[in-house]
Amino acid sequence: MAYPYTHEREVRVMSRGFGDPATRTLAGWKELGGYEALEQALGMSPDDVTEEVKASGLRGRGGAGFPTGVKWGFMPKEKKGPHYMLINADESEPGAFKDRELMRWTPHQVIEGAMIAAHAIRAQDVYIYIRGEFFEVAQIMGRAVEEAYAAGIAGKNAMGSGVDIDVTMHLGAGAYICGEETALMNSLEGRRGQPRIKPPFPAASGVFAQPTTINNVETVTSVPHIIKNGGAWYRQWGTEKSPGTKMFNVSGHVARRGNYELPLGFPMDELIYDVCGGIRDGRELKAVIPGGSSVPILTAEEVEGLASDYESVAEAGSLLGTASIIVMDDRTNMVTQVRRMVEFYAHESCGQCTPCREGTSWLVKILRRIEAGEGTADDIDTLRGVSRNVTGTTICVLSDSAAVPVMSWLEKFPEDVERLVPRRPQVPAGATAGLVEGQGE
């Protein structure tokens, strides 16, 4: 048992170096076969690299699950100016801590994957945009980048291949919204971290108005293994539409919280009860957020027998997202839970679009009141109305994400709502003044 917790049912492809500080060094990483895939990829044509990743069926691990090879294919085949490869390491969603661990334990794996991705899209520059609060990660990654340069892996004539790929780290300033791809680009350019209007899409005009691809840390971390072993090899795990392995980062009321690398489609209840050792203190499961705080909450019944791949979770009415699973036991006060999540979004709203700027903070105020036991029946309607009005009306989806926990709470935990907001008898207007016949007391 190394690394906080491991489990025999794990398939440790990306996470095989976890827990061993040696893998943080170039030498240690090379011992595990590191940079062989990069050398191999640099010898291939960019299109062949893309084809291999397409064949693997790898899907973006940043939450949306868009096929990575297809995304790379959007980049222009002819290079008219610089192309940029951005690595989104601004992992800030409540519940998510997989990229942090990948960078902390295997920084060279991230660099290797990023450089392969850069080669595939003909980019001469990789920017790794790291969340501002990740001080330790930034130090580890920084040392690894230096090592890679010193060893001739990154920079001009990478690994003697004749291909130039520079790797630059950029530390954010601690804004969740900078994890939105276009806000990240603005931030990288030195502007306010606010999402841009799309179109233009990044592949046409991204950072510095040049063709850009942006990938999640975990996505590019999967790539070296695919290049080394082939797309078909990668498909031995997971389902037809969700192939491969995925980091499942589980937090909340389970016995063994942590990062587990499992094949996609792994049964979620087994993940909770077997891999994570079940609900702690012998309590009952109440709810599960399967993909980070911005996806709808699932009830204990909905999780039963649920396969954790993109399609199955979507069918159950939620999203696999980043597979950042938050488990809640029967003691959880859902309104507190929801209020804290919405508070997060209100705090992190960039403030550009009106519905998000005003709507998220309004939701918080209402929820705080309900939490304090001062809710009224009207508040439930207002919560619904506000949630509806912040959904689909803004440039990015931050406010949509804030509405999600509210809506799923109202929909799935009516007994909570009922307890906190007692339905008062309906008294017609004017009844108390004796103007109309009232049925109220």
Residue pair 259/101 in contact (Cβ under 8 Å)? The answer is: yes
What token pair was written down for 231? 């797309």
**According to the binding rule CB under 8 A, does residue 351 interact with another protein?**
yes
Q: How far is the CB of 440 from another protein (least distance, A)?
A: 21
Nearer to another protein, 280 or 357 (CB): 357
d(CA 219, CA 14): 10
Q: Which of 347, 286, 296 is nearest to 319 (CA)?
A: 296
**Alpha carbon 28 to its chain's center:** 28
d(CA 348, CA 204): 28
Taking CB under 8 A as the rule, which mask of x and - marks residues 191-230 in contact with another protein? -x----x---------------------------------
Interface pick for another protein out of 15, 106, 210, 352 (rule CB under 8 A): 352
Running DSSP on this structure, what letter comes out for residue 440?
A: -
Nearer to another protein, 169 or 402 (CB): 402
Interface pick for another protein out of 355, 370, 404, 409 (rule CB under 8 A): 355
| DSSP three-state, residue 73 | helix
**According to the binding rule CB under 8 A, does residue 2 interact with another protein?**
no
Binders of another protein among 363-382, rule CB under 8 A?
Answer: 365-366, 369, 378, 382
Interface pick for another protein out of 28, 239, 361, 431 (rule CB under 8 A): 361
Taking CB under 8 A as the rule, which mask of x and - marks residues 310-349 in contact with another protein? ------------------------------------xxxx
Q: How far is the CB of 403 from another protein (least distance, A)?
A: 12
d(CA 268, CA 439): 50
Nearer to another protein, 69 or 195 (CB): 195
Residue pair 277/390 in contact (Cβ under 8 Å)? The answer is: no
Q: How far is the CB of 357 from another protein (least distance, A)?
A: 5
Nearer to another protein, 25 or 361 (CB): 361
What token pair was written down for 164? 């130039």
Residue pair 69/53 in contact (Cβ under 8 Å)? The answer is: yes
**According to the binding rule CB under 8 A, does residue 360 interact with another protein?**
yes
**According to the binding rule CB under 8 A, does residue 389 interact with another protein?**
yes
Q: Which of 100, 120, 156 is nearest to 38 (CA)?
A: 120
Interface pick for another protein out of 35, 72, 127, 362 (rule CB under 8 A): 362
d(CA 250, CA 292): 10
Q: Which of 163, 162, 159, 139 is nearest to 149 (CA)?
A: 159
| Residue span binding another protein (CB under 8 A) among the ranges 93-101, 217-225, 271-279, 352-360 | 352-360
Counting residues that bind another protein (by CB under 8 A) gives 32
**According to the binding rule CB under 8 A, does residue 189 interact with another protein?**
no
Residue 171 bridge partners (DSSP): 130
How many residues are recorded in the chain? 441
Running DSSP on this structure, what letter comes out for residue 14?
A: G
**According to the binding rule CB under 8 A, does residue 187 interact with another protein?**
no
Which chain residues interact with another protein by CB under 8 A?
175, 177, 192, 197, 346-355, 357-362, 365-366, 369, 378, 382, 385, 388-389, 392-395
